[in-house]
Structure 1
Amino acid sequence: MSLFFKCILGVALLAVFVEGHDKVVVCYYGTWATYRSGDGKFSVSDINASLCTHLIYTFVGIKDDGTVVSLDPYLDLPDNYGLGTFKKFNELKQQNARLKTILAVGGWNEGSAKYSTMAASATLRKTFITTARDMVLTYGFDGLDLDWEYPNQRDSTHGADDVNNFSLLLKELREEFDKYGLLISVAVAALETSASLSYDIPTMAKCQDSNDSLLFSMPVTGKTAMLKLERAQRAVLKVAMAKPFRYPTTQLYAECCPPEKLVMGVPFYGRTFTLTDANVNGVAAPASGVGLAGQYTATNGFIGYNEFCNKLKTETWDVRYDSVAQVPYAVQGKNWVTYDDPSSLVKKVEYAVNLGVAGVMVWSIETDDFHGRCGEDFALLRAINTALA
């Protein structure tokens, strides 16, 4: 499963509360779900704007010269009979006047090279910042989510220089966005081994010294989510083992993100594995590789909650409970799936609230049971809001 932490620097500015509680609920929206078929299709019109305080639109990208551009003009823009989803997304604020909308740039598929090259050049940084600002303002977003995955990693063109260049980019981006009262969020690596390669944490911590409009998002890829924030329990994903994941330590970011400014993220999907032996099927059973794909998301090793809850209704699965991770998992022959349901999410949220964090973030709303095929619509989001209240 994927876990997230988001550091909110200035809760007063960002906490635009939903009904029933005063916590932050940050919802990522994967726009590609517009193209899915049947019950998997999820358009802006399917979003329930009353269940989130912040909605993040994913993704736009950049050109080689640093210019921020739409990656799917037909979907995003109204030109040439396009769907104009930018505009429709921001019109959701008519349904929830306190909703904030954020435009995400980057993502895994964008890679690291273009961002490495851009951040190394004062001219390209300026182009990136001004075109990002213009796109955000033109279409009515309230801020930008910078999702460079990752400085000094993957296909980076400038290697270790990315670390300082990233800090400089953030500083300059803030200086420009502050003029317009715009929010900035940043997706950063969570595992210490990765984060230490990409970021100058003390420099990033200085974000507390200026205005309150910067968030840090910390995603972690793993399987199931543990209710412990201890360094000793952090694990690294190994395809060969169907084994629950622990929450990563927040120690690395502690100087930047005290608990009251953290938002804990939770996944709306499960991880699937193929067992080596169908008869050896408990927690930590050996697996030969990733498992089945969801009907709509169509990615081996991954299944949306909406896809899997329907499988549990229509197929025979042995559903079990991991008392250590406090999450369900299910077995069917050699198929092994670990996932979160409303009950396990409530426990995570209650645990997070007891730690004093500001709220919860989700990836991503289009894999919730938004049609209510397995019960109440948006069962996961509603469970989160109920627990926060």
Structure 2
Amino acid sequence: MHKGLHLSKIAAAMAVTLMAGMSTQTIAAPTHDKQVIGYITQWEAWKGTDAGFSVKGEATHLNVDMDIYSILNFSFFGVAKDGSLHSGDLRNKNIYQPNSVQEPGPLLHPDVYSSWDLHILWGELEYVHEYPGNEPWQADLLAKVQAQGFVKDGRGWKHEPTGVTGQMPIPLKKEGGAPGLIDLADQKGVKVMASIGGWSMSKHFPEMAADPVKKERFLKDVDRLMALGFHGIDIDWEYPGSGGMNFSGTDADYANFEQLMDDIRKRIGPDKLLTAAFKAVPAALEGFNWERLSKSMDYFNMMTYDLNGGWSNVAGHNSPLYPYPEEEFEGLNLDTLKNWMVNVRGIPAHQINFGAAFYGRGVQTTESTAYLGAPTDKRNVNFSVDGPTLSAVDLDNWKAFEGQPNYNYLKKQTGWEHMWDANAEVPYAVKGKYFLSYDDPASIRKKAEYIRDNNLGGIIVWQVHGDIECKGQFINHGTKLKECTNLSSPLAEEIDKAFSANTGPVNQAPVLTVPAAQTVEASKVISFEVSATDAEGDALSFTVSNNATITDNGNGKATVTFKAPATDVDLQETITVTVSDGKKKATKTVVVNVKAVAGPGPNPGDNTAPVLTAPATATVDSGKTVVISVSAKDAEGDKLTYSASAGTVAATANGAEITFTAPTVTADEVVNVVVTVTDGKLTDEATVAVTVKASEVGGNTWDPNKVYHAGDTVVFDGVTYTAKWWTKGEQPGTSAVWEAKDGGTGPGTGPGEGGGTGSDWSADSVYNSGDEVVFNGEKYRAKWWNQGEQPGQQWGAWEKI
């Protein structure tokens, strides 16, 4: 698909000739002025067919429709404990653990075998395994290396223009090869931002922003990013004020964030872009001085996704456009946030970009057939990023994604019943007890139209490869990069269509009028009238929440009817009324005060909470199951319902039994199981501290039928192993996915996963530059990546030390 560039790209038409393997095309004039900002990650390229892609290496810059996107955010660089920046490939995978910190590391991961950093940013590479000497036969290669700015640096290399260093081989840009992200974007008139932070690499933001010394170290690395050719900086501090993974937020964060934006702006100058991602919750945004931020920043990227998920108590939407009756927390939607930002806080609409999720979120519920608003079923899950967490995430259907499947994968799955929520204006799907919230072309287009009609700045996409599908062939650019000859991006294309549509005058939302608070006795019926007008005279339709009904009386008027619940205590109910003209909506609420009516019995209106009896502790072996018996009494003899934060609950004649399956652990661990009982009005709860006993050393805890994620540990044949990525059925000691406690992986080690330092040389292992081994009693160090090259050979991969 080819379309005009955005006004933020290039105003005039131009012709560009791409490098080898890329097509020649003429770019037309712009057709809209909205920003389409896409996050492109450094890790998605590792994923293959199990994650919805045709081949590994498909999810790179070569397969992004740059005729649609105006800005691409390369994600992520992390913040280390000294304030410096590091490649996202070097993040501390245990950062979720108490007292964990992020150590400094290279800005770009220099290992071309185990990282995509250089392949994405610099393009197709040719590897030079030794720095060329001054011999005549090396003259041409030396000239190429020096022309690209590489000089010798100890045993490795340094790229002088950017200060990036690394071990051999030298990652030389291949002459005539596929361009890197920034070069390709420059040809297309697209801006590329360096995105810093993210959920798992924001821990040190608060201390850096508060410490002048650490901040100066941070800003020096910002200089290095700009030297790499980035067009600006995007800050993903998750989150100022409210905290994130293994750190707490404070009120001081807000002013420190504002000052950091001022400092970055001064550092990069007025002609570069400065943006940041923000939590899409008004309560977390109140502390910012938005007038100050508006002066230093170009755009506010609001993360209007991840609003519900495995942490939620009921099944809800990942990214709802409008409010809906089943939402657990009122106001978590795009429309409410827009009204707060623009109408309440007066934030310039043209600086606001709202989020579009190119992925879904799946949860499991307690119901045999899931539904919107169904209670979620939580248990302890060990996530690859978040570590051990209580979550209702659906791993049965979305294992490879840890419950967050890309759109290009989820749309191909069968057995799901797909539905549309007319209130939130998003789809969802159910299959048995499983619930999936996602966005499709229709809902993405509605979000884009909303952004257009409300004169907002644009849209942010997480992430650009979530919807791509190759309908052509692949051109190989070296061993890593794959370019599709016919790329489809259905969600991104809907954004482009909506932003490019000739809409004429901007449509105005209807104006809704509702009455003041109402009062009604319990179990009685109340009716009241609402009305609405529309500036364009469009036909209006009304909807209502909270089990109320609404009758359209015509002429912009409707009658709401509501039956109050039976209650022996005073209640306050809220009825949400929505009117739509087919393009925009207006929403208001009516408070209904429900007056109690005393019930029968000697003490009308009285109710006491049930009393729960549960053991304080329990013990179970690693990976085994324990049954916890509980009981409760209720003075009024009400029916009691039991639930637990982990395990499955089954009712018994005297109470309930919680069946809890312990995680596999290599050290004793305590899991707190919270048990709750309710009589329908009041509750009581107790915590059972379950001690999970580790297996004896030498015993096997690895289960060939169990799924393991990055960071999981097992014991096999007396050796402790840690999983480096998702795995099932791959035996420790025979597969590179498992890393032994001493750093080795055994036979089958894959590229970039070295065979250890100081261990005996193995012909089956892969070694990287700098790895040390022992062979025939002598120590050797690898000069470059190799496998099967025996130490001691003249001109070989090993040097004697």
Name the TM-score, length of structure 2 as normaliser: 0.41
Residue 382 of structure 1, CA deviation? 0.7
Structure 2 CA distance for aligned equivalents of residues 265 and 258 of structure 1: 17
Within a 5 Å distance, the mapping from 1:321-340 to structure 2 comes to: 321-340=420-439
Post-superposition offset of 1:192: 2.2
- Pairing 1:54-73 to 2, within 5 Å after superposition: 54-72=71-89
Q: Which runs of 5+ in 1 are unaligned?
A: 1-11, 239-243
Q: Distance in 1 between matches of 2:399 and 2:73?
A: 21
- How do 1:1-389 and structure 2 match up within 5 A? 14=8, 20-38=31-49, 39-40=52-53, 41=56, 42-72=59-89, 77=108, 79-81=110-112, 83=116, 84=118, 85-87=120-122, 88-96=180-188, 98-112=189-203, 114-135=204-225, 137-152=226-241, 153-154=243-244, 155-156=246-247, 159-178=250-269, 181-196=271-286, 199=287, 201-202=288-289, 204-209=290-295, 214-220=298-304, 221-222=306-307, 223-228=317-322, 246-247=333-334, 248-254=336-342, 255=345, 257-279=347-369, 281-288=370-377, 289-292=392-395, 297-300=400-403, 302-311=404-413, 315-371=414-470, 377-389=488-500
Q: Distance in 2 between matches of 1:126 and 1:13?
A: 35
Larger Rg: 2
Q: If each structure's helix is expressed as a fraction of its own residues, which one has the higher value? A: 1
Q: Shift of residue 381 of structure 1?
A: 0.4
Number of equivalent positions: 355
Deviation >6 Å, runs of 4+? 73-76
CA contact (8 A) 1:149 1:188 kept: yes
* Contact 1:273 1:337 survives alignment (8 Å): yes
Contact 1:151 1:163 in 2 (8 A): yes
Question: How far apart, CA to CA, are the structure 1 residues paired with 2:258 and 2:37?
Answer: 24
Deviations along 1:305-343, whole A, 9 cap, x unmatched?
A: 1111111xxx22212211112222212112221211111
Q: 1:263: Cα distance to partner?
A: 2.0
One-letter identity of the residue aligned with 1:271: R
List gaps (5 residues or longer) in structure 2: 1-5, 12-28, 91-104, 123-179, 308-316, 378-391, 473-485, 501-801
Q: Distance in 2 between matches of 1:253 and 1:246?
A: 12
Higher RCO (C-alpha under 8 Å, 6+ residues apart):
1
Distance 1:366 1:191 in 2: 26
Q: Residues 176, 256 of structure 1: CA spacing in aligned structure 2 closer, same or farther, 3 A cutoff?
A: farther
How far apart are residue 193 of structure 1 and its match? 2.5
Whole-Å separation in 1 of the counterparts to 2:471 and 2:361: 21
Shift of 1:104: 0.5
CA contact (8 A) 2:182 2:229 kept: yes
1: distance between equivalents of 2:67 and 2:349?
A: 25
| CA distance in structure 1 between the aligned counterparts of 2:326 and 2:258, rounded to whole angstroms | 27
The whole-number CA distance in structure 1 between the counterparts of 2:274 and 2:374 is 42
Q: 1:146-187 CA deviation, whole Å, 9 max, x = no partner?
A: 1111223244478332222222211111111116x2211111
Give the whole-Å Cα distance in 2 for the aligned partners of 1:174 and 1:234: 43
Q: Distance in 2 between matches of 1:25 and 1:304?
A: 19
Q: Which amino acid aligns with 2:250?
A: G
- Is the partner of 2:81 in helix, strand or coil? coil
In structure 1, how many angstroms separate the alpha carbons of the residues matched to 2:187 and 2:294?
A: 32
Query: CA offsets, 1:68-92, max 9 Å, x none?
Result: 2223379984845465122321122
Counterpart of 2:254 in structure 1: which amino acid? V
Return the alpha-carbon distance in structure 2 between the equivalents of residues 171 and 120 of structure 1. 14
Q: How much has 1:304 moved relative to structure 2?
A: 1.1
State the TM-score, normalizing by the size of structure 1.
0.80
Change (3 A) 1:119 1:157: farther
CA 1:75 to 1:58, structure 2 compared with 1: closer, same or farther past 3 Å? farther
Q: Name the residue aligned to 1:6.
A: none
Determine helix, strand or coil for the equivalent of 1:72. helix
CA RMSD of aligned residues (A): 3.2
Which amino acid in structure 2 is aligned with residue 130 of structure 1?
K
* AA aligned opposite 1:102: M
Equivalent-residue separation in structure 1 for 2:272 and 2:8 (angstroms): 11
Higher share of residues assigned strand: 2
Deviation at residue 138 of structure 1 after TM alignment = 2.2
Residues 233 and 362 (structure 1 numbering): CA distance in 2 closer, same or farther, change over 3 Å? farther
